[in-house]
Structure 1
Amino acid sequence: MIVDRFRVDGRVAVVTGAGRGIGAAAAVALAEAGADVALSARSEDQLGEVAERIRKVGRRAAVLPADLSDPAAAAELAGRAAGELGRLDIVVNNVGGALPRPFLDTEPEHLENAFQFNVANAHALTRAAVPFLLEAGGGAVVNISSVMGRVGGRGYLAYGSAKAALAHYTRLAGFDLAPRIRINAIAVGSVATSALDIVMSSDELRGQMEAGTPLGRIGDPEDVAAAVVYLASPASAYVTGSVLRVDGGIDAPNLDLGLPDL
């Protein structure tokens, strides 16, 4: 049956930024689809809660705290995950981000930090994972990019540039890793995670974002988690080097940061 192609039974995934939000939802979704999951983020307490959710669906979970702002720590994660769970088949590079800033307040180091956190770290983990993925017979990598990597808007210079780089990294790596390893990305729109706490607590701001989204709502982490399962599973066996939009249909920022002209 076609639904069986969405299963990842007996496979092992590593998910970064897995303590909450999209990372936690993706980790649990992969477990529900049959995978054992290695979880990494700074907060061990949050990871422990996600691990319990995974164990409740009958899968193994490994809690691997790490400061993933450091590419060296990201690179070590592949071996730690394989060592704890016996193999590695799926990598989900979810950790990332950068604060919005006006153009003149965006220093060169803000760009450098954004590229390291969003692109260099994803590369470090993916590169270190390749031998384990090949040993397991191939594998899948899923990068979490953003709608801001393809649309324009004030205040998102560092974040949008880094996410655009991650999207194109994915396209280029698709050639480098084929045919045994697939790599794809998800361009995520506005999703109800802790990053949007201010928006979700304000009827005015939430209404503005919903009105600016063709589907009329802010996304749920499970919307992205479902796409992660698709791209990590045999259901997407003929897909690589692609960027899947999970953004509610937006083609422009749906929140005005109110930054004035120079």
Structure 2
Amino acid sequence: MKNYLVIGCSSGIGQAIFTTLAQEHQVTGTYYKNQPQKLPSKSSVHYLNVLDEDFDFSFIPEKLDGLVYCPGSIQLKPFHRFKEEDFIKDFQLQVTGAVKVIQASLPSLKKSEQASIVLFSTVAVQNGFNFHSLVSSSKGAIEGLTRALSAELAPKIRVNCIAPSITDTPLAHSILSTPEKKEANAQRHPLKDIGSPEDIANAAMFLLGDKSKWITGQILHLDGGIGTIR
């Protein structure tokens, strides 16, 4: 049995990863707005707001075999309507928060024979989409961080990143709030479907586990083909 830490485990992709991991492993999770009420037996959850200046990381296990950083946001609107503070706050949530969590977790990760870090980007980083300037900026930094850390932390700690397209989670509710919106977004993808939290969790499980022991520094595109197929 291994020890994992999932930052942002209360809904969507984070919840799917947390629940799947807890079937076989000891999992520590964090929440911000919604505290999970029903927990798997091999798990615990703790409050964490990654935008706070002072973090209490005393809940991090002494040894960690894997870390997943899930907090994110989706704000889509024309570039000229964003304020400078919008970019700063989004960067703090998606990048600075990840940096602080990884730095705090490094001593525990280094005690594992082979640890794995999984971060999240978006298909919009590699493909220019209208109104995605905010999320693409922050997630572009995450992809750069993934590659740099994978080099610095090898060979004992692997670092990879998953870059999904639109996924049916509470975070994307405004984009997928009606059957018509879901169908329209599904039709944009070559596979004619919307990603599910379980789709992403399956990929995260692979990157966290021993079957991916020769994979690091990679951006795994789970995007229904929209990033490469025309």
Cα 1:199–1:159, aligned 2, differ >3 Å: closer, same or farther? closer
Tell me if 1:191 matches 2:167: yes
CA-CA distance at 1:199 after TM superposition: 4.0
Tell me the equivalent position of 1:255.
none
Cα 1:247–1:113, aligned 2, differ >3 Å: closer, same or farther? same
Does the residue aligned with 1:184 lie in a helix, a strand or coil? Answer: strand
Which of 42, 47, 53 does residue 65 from structure 1 map onto?
47
C-alpha distance in 2, partners of 1:106/1:244? Answer: 29
The number of equivalent residue pairs is 228
Cα 1:18–1:119, aligned 2, differ >3 Å: closer, same or farther? same
C-alpha distance in 2, partners of 1:207/1:116? Answer: 33
Tell me the equivalent position of 2:32.
42
Query: 1:128-185: per-residue Cα shift (whole Å, max 9, x none)?
Result: 1111111233311000211122211121111111111101210111101101100100
CA-CA distance at 1:107 after TM superposition: 1.5
Tell me if 1:16 matches 2:7: yes
C-alpha distance in 2, partners of 1:96/1:204? Answer: 25
Letter in 1 for 2:207: L
Letter in 2 for 1:69: L
TM-score computed with the length of structure 2 as normaliser: 0.93
> Where is the helix percentage greater, Structure 1 or Structure 2?
1
Query: 1:76-133: per-residue Cα shift (whole Å, max 9, x none)?
Result: 43x4121xxx532110011122422211111121111111111111111111111111
Does the residue aligned with 1:142 lie in a helix, a strand or coil? Answer: strand
Structure 2 unmatched runs, 5+ = none
Is the 8 Å Cα contact of residues 18 and 39 (structure 1) preserved in structure 2?
yes
Is the 8 Å Cα contact of residues 16 and 93 (structure 1) preserved in structure 2?
yes
CA-CA distance at 1:203 after TM superposition: 2.8
Letter in 2 for 1:80: F
Cα 1:19–1:153, aligned 2, differ >3 Å: closer, same or farther? same
C-alpha distance in 1, partners of 2:51/2:218? Answer: 25
5 Å-filtered alignment, 1:29-178, equals 29-32=20-23, 34-45=24-35, 47-49=36-38, 51=39, 54-55=40-41, 60-70=42-52, 72-73=54-55, 76-77=56-57, 79-82=58-61, 86-178=62-154
Is the 8 Å Cα contact of residues 44 and 65 (structure 1) preserved in structure 2?
no
C-alpha distance in 1, partners of 2:176/2:73? Answer: 19
Is the 8 Å Cα contact of residues 71 and 120 (structure 1) preserved in structure 2?
no
Cα 1:44–1:87, aligned 2, differ >3 Å: closer, same or farther? farther
TM-score computed with the length of structure 1 as normaliser: 0.82
Structure 1 unmatched runs, 5+ = 1-9, 253-262
Of the two, which has the highest radius of gyration?
1
